[in-house]
Chains A and B, each alone.
Chain A
Amino acid sequence: MSDTVIHAPANAPEHSSGHHTSTGLSNEKLAMWGFLGSECLLFGALISTFLLYRSKEPHQGPAVADLYDIEFTSVSSFVLLMSSMTMVLALAAIQRGEHRRARTWLLTTALLGSTFVAGQVYEFTAFYREGLGFTTNIQSSAFYVLTGFHGVHVTIGIVMLVSLVVMSLRGKLPTERSETVEIVGLYWHFVDIVWILIFTIVYLIHP
């Protein structure tokens, strides 16, 4: 049995990671887009589960919708939305070679993300004090799993952003490696678009 080896063509573009790819595209970026495509299925499942159970009257404890603080959640949503802007500004800055500015925007994004997570912790605590625990009723379980999973994603994003700042400070994030920022940015924007869906479907539209 002979092995078939396909060599990358000489004219294949070289990426910031410094190697040729058979598709001509960055493998890392391709992997991130594939991952984000699969994440659509994960969050689709969680949103569908919530939609399925929120129409059922809770047999115990309050209904989730009765406890929403729309003004507070609107501010949180706005904060997350603005973090997407600061993220894209960080990418633009590092692509221009403005490292100090890129770090500032990355830190701002991490701070805005932290504000959002802090808001979510506050919301969960307020709900718990109102008698809505994780297992109080099936609605609350679906709500906490959905928003909790999103919160975990935001937290992971914050860790990645802080890591980028540390890498940049150590000089390990030169302009040629700006694609690393772009990939983390894709993840961050995805977390934002998931919240766009959750905010409208879960918080603003309810029967």
Chain B
Amino acid sequence: MSLQDAAHAGAAAAHEETVSGVGHEHPSDGKYVQIAIFLGVITAMEVAIPYITEVSGIWLAVMLVLMVIKFFVVVAWFMHLKFDSSLFRRLFVGGLVLAVLVYLAALTSFQYFGDDTTSVDERRGDPPAGAEADH
């Protein structure tokens, strides 16, 4: 198969994907308003939780889940990633996953292997490092 044939095949496949993806009917204005109301309700829930209870344990998980839901609803519906080509999705999700992995690794490294062990002390219930120097 020549390079030219490969290019033709690739473009034809992408064309097919475009027709089924980009050419998709987008939601109506009413649907967008419904989604915005849904997002507003989730935001209200997020704001209410810290007033009702301390944000730790299960409530921390609930807050993070609500945040992730909001994030992906905007990406899927308002940014049309749900209807668009999968190549766009791969580009964006690739960057997102890379960012999450890199910074989780970086934060974990700083937490456990950094020079300043303040947070480790705090977890043990000891006074923060440097607290004596302040007094």
Contact = CB atoms under 8 A, between A and B. Distances in A.
A199 B106 CA distance: 22
Contact of B63 (A22, A43, A47, A200): A200
Contacts of B60: 205
B98 A89 contact: no
Contact of B118 (A22, A40, A57): A57
Contacts of A8: 7, 11
Contacts of B4: 6-7
A166 interface: no
B32 A89 contact: yes
B71 A9 contact: no
Interface residues of B, number: 65
A13 B15 CA distance: 6
A6 B32 contact: no
Contact of B46 (A7, A30, A185, A204): A204
A23 B14 contact: yes
A92 B26 contact: yes
Given A74-B43, A204-B47, A25 B8 contact: no
Nearest to A73: B47
Chain B interface main SS type: helix
| B3, B88, B118 — most chain A CB neighbours (10 Å) | B88
B107 A193 contact: no
A124 interface: no
Contacts of A6: 3-4, 7
A24 interface: yes
A6 B1 CA distance: 13
A78 B40 contact: yes
Nearest to B114: A52
B94 A200 contact: no
Contacts of B131: 57
A19 B13 CA distance: 18
Interface of B: 3-4, 7-8, 10-15, 17-19, 22, 26, 29, 32-33, 35-36, 39-40, 43, 46-47, 49-50, 55, 60, 63-64, 66-67, 70-71, 74-75, 77-80, 85, 87-88, 91-92, 94-96, 98-100, 102-103, 106-107, 110, 116, 118-119, 122, 128, 130-131, 134
Closest 7 CB pairs of A and B: A37-B95, A24-B14, A44-B99, A85-B36, A200-B67, A48-B103, A40-B95
10 contacts: A9-B11, A29-B88, A39-B95, A40-B98, A70-B47, A88-B78, A89-B32, A189-B74, A192-B74, A205-B64
